[in-house]
Structure 1
């Protein structure tokens, strides 16, 4: 059974240091620490707008893609398409509508390792959702200090399962088997995960998942995106404790082999999009995403030392070949293999320098990385380049009585060099970025807190933005004279969490966040012909808005609601074309019996005017779900989940999508057996 305090944790994101050091009411103790906002010991006191999607919420969603998970987070919108391979994201208006470089202002992490892929109409993030145990979304640039320059929109941090998530208390091993089906996109799914802890100092986990992906259909029954692929996925993790030292290793791989798969995984074939255009074509497409980590840690009794060094390698590959249908060819310039190989070395230490009456943690780190972007087909729309980066950073987290003050500073040097295949220019770009931030929270009472923050963030132009000179049928000039974007973000907010409001043992939480982001030299695509550059800097742009999150738990009911609003204009007063729908999201679930839980979700979105395009109408989408988990007998440990997304088969197009429609009704059935 999912606990009410967990919902409070999702919406609160704040806990005084004292609550971590001494017994407190159950709702406070179960407020989950936000792993990615600072040190685990004090991260939940960081004054930042945060949403945590935990394992219980993931089980409710039964997601078929990472987009299904993030669609439930206020302030986050999908910018890709309906297919598994068309996922891209927008946070608070950062992230364009599915084209290259769309997530440059968002940091995407899997087990702490950054993921970034940009290739024309090919999606940007490829994740097996069954391997996830929690997803944290930290909205705004407050996490740039720890996770990289340019996080104007925020951070999406995904954590994969560990052995401890599979092993029951008192046992040395355990696991689960899961089977699933979804009707839209047409999906067959199976997975097995096993954890092993033979000794106190060693543990390991192995997980394998397999998906067969078919077609995604619109509400009228027409096929929009053909995924047509078999997708085996693998996760391996191990940890060995050796006194004060420990070693961790992990390997994560998703591999999909498409057969006559739509090249354009955002919108499908789209014949007739241009005069005489027969469509983007179908191909035999390999998608492979790999993440490898090796971590050495040292955590002695000395409070000044909690150090770890991480060496990681990440690579995302798309290999596109012509399909079997001669009537649906792919343009020659879009064929071939495109790689993003990233090596990174990172060292970090967290020092506990607390004293009498105050808590103080100081995180200091250094990292260096090299990304090799390569392509076997010389295409102006996918330029090859090397990007080398070095950074140092420090984050101070001070908790003094009712006041928490966090200050951070990150300095980054980056050099981007085009390879010889880039003929429009041989200019490299060297940049320096200094990013300071300060945030504070004051606890007015045990229930009420106020907070505010200010951050200066700089986003360096991406390879596509610098050297792209061709997209689709438009040939433009390169943009080597681009300068970095500079974002000045201010946030204020208030939060409340209390118990015993209407009945003994009930809980409620409300959190309100308002933000304003002033961006100098914002980078936008021109879509202009040669000799105009593909991208230019806009003098100024402004984004402002807010989020309200609220929840209540009591009497077997769990209720939640959120509102997210964002507006954005350039210096001429023109609306930005990256703005999402303003949305109200609601969820309710009821524990009818110890074994049966019923629930529903609704998203109500306002319409949005699109510059140089038709208005995107508002919409309402409703989902229902039920879970049966017997608590005794031979079927104990079995869970059956049934869900229906878009129950009314609503035809709609989110404002951040290039085109639509979004998928029609989707029926999902999942069977899980723990052992």
Structure 2
């Protein structure tokens, strides 16, 4: 029997449109409408098919993730806990087109989507932007033990979220009481211990929840992590010490009228010891103090009897700081500071209404504003390449979703058309004087047609942009020295470029999905979704290094600066004439670029076993040089096979990743060999008896100690690592 797309993605949305039900106003009702009930063999969570995940970020309205006209992946609280993640990178290894680069140190990891990274990927935590971007100090600092849901939207997202939407959106939500408590229980919590051999990491966590009634939801927790050097696939130890203390607290309070308030706080603190450049193999060892803190408050109003009103307002402040003191080198003993503080708010409303019996409309309109203040200092003075100043962004958007039913006389068919447009204005100012500003229009239209119960096709066109950052417009100072015989003989220096244009893209995307249940056995489900995207880019922001010294010679420092997007030319051997050896570093616009790729996600989930397959191809090109741009990833396939053992409240599984080799073009340091990664895992979670609530998970990552290196990373990745996790969850 085929799953009815109209029932699961149409009728439920029709009911929500006409009743005004939403996740913010009555989340349990919305989920009940959207999630199909599935019979379980022995355990309601483990022995059968999981409920369908819901996407909110991709369209700003609740929709089954599989039915979204685009590529989006949603991971829920149970799936995240089962993966025993130590960092965000652990959540991306089975998502097509998504990865991390920067090496295995958590302080250097940077997420990348379809070749875009850094400021080209929007990251939010409970709706609050996380805007920290650094050349070598990572991108976002959040303990994964607090994440109750991770939604990854791949592709153009500026029509709803503005600057940075060229790559996509990573939306993270912290745990709620509903994630931790059994139905009907009001108080509970979870304690856990974990250990991983790859970096001798020992983690302790304590998380609690309280839900005294249907109107109140409070959760919070604390995690402590300590880790040592990272063992790479070639058995080399990578200098790295972390001492992390994290905490979070959130609460949601509703009233009978549909109004409510939500409050949130998240804190991450790491006393680390590693090279000054957290992405490098070696370098000057530095004591680092990494702080990330986010406060947010939100208001919502969604009366059940008024489908025209589903309003939300969110206000937030996030601050990220990395202070470091080198133990050796030219800056030994000198405090180096980098801080990014963001204040913002966003407001939107969705009105749902029907036009006759066959057309439903969801009209969403809103605005947002955020101000980003950046500071950099070296011993109280200016810090090279780190600009002090501020940027302001504000935008207005509108989107309409039209759902047509029984199209062309096809009973049960559905056609959805979703046009939208956004206007953004942004300005950049530095403390030393100087400013730049611009504006951007970002339209998008998507369509989805389900002519039959079991399948649909979709297509979209979208424009996206990313504004140049302060460190790209106004950098000054030294990028790196040229070393001969242990002494600097020249310096590569930063050059400002205030003529930079915003990076912009035009993306076409098409795809199809099929979905069946009861294929082989009662209660099973098969889903597959395939998409192709083609992106034309203008004014891509890229780093150009012009070096008059032969940096490819190993006696000179630093060869690893030949990284993606860097153009080194006019090489002269400085062994002959070492005088005047230096160069410049400047951010420039690449006039034309193109990216395209294919992404596939397929799952067969049955009461006894589950098979998942994810694959992606990616091709990027600078049209002037023919070289790859951004963080192009190799073609990759990931397979996951899980055997469920409900008789003993357990499951065991195997996951394998096969990555093709990668041609870095003229930048030969980006050539990479193909590799295979294998992982085995098991989880036991007692459901009944005296041990009910206890859980033990074991995972062996990189089982065969593969020596592999990701594109744009200067180091190999972690070798074989065994993870053991023990937890106890209770509620009453």
- State if a TM-score over 0.5 links the two structures: yes
Partner of 2:348: 348
Residue number among 367, 381, 385 corresponding to 2:385 in the alignment: 381
Partner of 1:627: 683
Displacement after TM superposition at 1:19 (Å): 4.8
Residue deviations 1:16-71, cap 9 Å, x none? 21255579964699322202122444464430101112223223311110011112
2:695 maps to 1:618: no
Distance in 1, matches of 2:715 and 2:288, equals: 23
**Does the Cα contact within 8 Å between 1:542 and 1:568 map onto a contact in 2?**
yes
Distance in 2, matches of 1:160 and 1:495, equals: 30
Distance in 2, matches of 1:571 and 1:488, equals: 15
User: Bigger CA drift: 46-55 or 123-132?
Assistant: 46-55
2:611 maps to 1:603: no
Partner of 1:18: 11
Partner of 2:177: 163
User: Bigger CA drift: 542-551 or 200-209?
Assistant: 200-209
Partner of 2:542: 524
Partner of 2:697: 641
Distance in 2, matches of 1:90 and 1:16, equals: 30
Partner of 1:165, secondary structure, is: helix
Partner of 1:513: 531
Residue number among 393, 415, 425 corresponding to 1:403 in the alignment: 415
Distance in 2, matches of 1:193 and 1:13, equals: 39
Q: TM-score, normalised by structure 1?
A: 0.90
Residue deviations 1:297-318, cap 9 Å, x none? 1222321111121110000010
Partner of 1:124: 139
Query: Root-mean-square deviation (CA), in Å?
Result: 2.3
Partner of 1:668: 723
Residue number among 595, 598, 609 corresponding to 1:546 in the alignment: 598
How many pairs are equivalent? 637
Partner of 1:467: 474
Partner of 1:590: 643
**Does the Cα contact within 8 Å between 1:107 and 1:148 map onto a contact in 2?**
no
Distance in 2, matches of 1:13 and 1:637, equals: 38
User: Bigger CA drift: 627-636 or 43-52?
Assistant: 43-52
Partner of 2:224: 210
Partner of 2:626: 574
Q: TM-score, normalised by structure 2?
A: 0.83
Partner of 1:255: 269
Displacement after TM superposition at 1:14 (Å): 11
1:315-354 counterparts in 2 under 5 A? 315-323=319-327, 328-329=328-329, 331=331, 335-354=335-354
| Structure number, greater radius of gyration | 2
Distance in 2, matches of 1:249 and 1:313, equals: 12
Q: How has the CA–CA distance of structure 1 residues 403 and 151 changed in structure 2, closer, same or farther, with 3 Å as cutoff?
A: same
Displacement after TM superposition at 1:181 (Å): 0.5
Q: How has the CA–CA distance of structure 1 residues 309 and 115 changed in structure 2, closer, same or farther, with 3 Å as cutoff?
A: same
Distance in 2, matches of 1:134 and 1:415, equals: 33
2:195 maps to 1:196: no
Residue deviations 1:459-516, cap 9 Å, x none? 2111121122442332131111111112000000010000122333322111110000
Partner of 2:514: 496
2:119 maps to 1:107: no
Displacement after TM superposition at 1:532 (Å): 5.5
Distance in 2, matches of 1:29 and 1:175, equals: 22
Distance in 1, matches of 2:672 and 2:50, equals: 44
Distance in 2, matches of 1:504 and 1:251, equals: 44
Residue number among 19, 34, 59 corresponding to 1:38 in the alignment: 59
Distance in 1, matches of 2:131 and 2:680, equals: 33
Distance in 2, matches of 1:608 and 1:367, equals: 40
Residue number among 49, 68, 82 corresponding to 2:71 in the alignment: 49
Displacement after TM superposition at 1:555 (Å): 5.0
Partner of 2:545, secondary structure, is: coil
Displacement after TM superposition at 1:653 (Å): 0.5
User: Bigger CA drift: 578-587 or 522-531?
Assistant: 522-531
Residue number among 417, 425, 429 corresponding to 1:417 in the alignment: 429
Displacement after TM superposition at 1:161 (Å): 0.2
**Does the Cα contact within 8 Å between 2:53 and 2:76 map onto a contact in 1?**
no
Partner of 2:96: 74
Displacement after TM superposition at 1:338 (Å): 1.3
Partner of 1:57, secondary structure, is: helix
Q: How has the CA–CA distance of structure 1 residues 239 and 220 changed in structure 2, closer, same or farther, with 3 Å as cutoff?
A: same
Partner of 1:444, secondary structure, is: strand
Partner of 1:104, secondary structure, is: helix
Q: How has the CA–CA distance of structure 1 residues 479 and 24 changed in structure 2, closer, same or farther, with 3 Å as cutoff?
A: closer
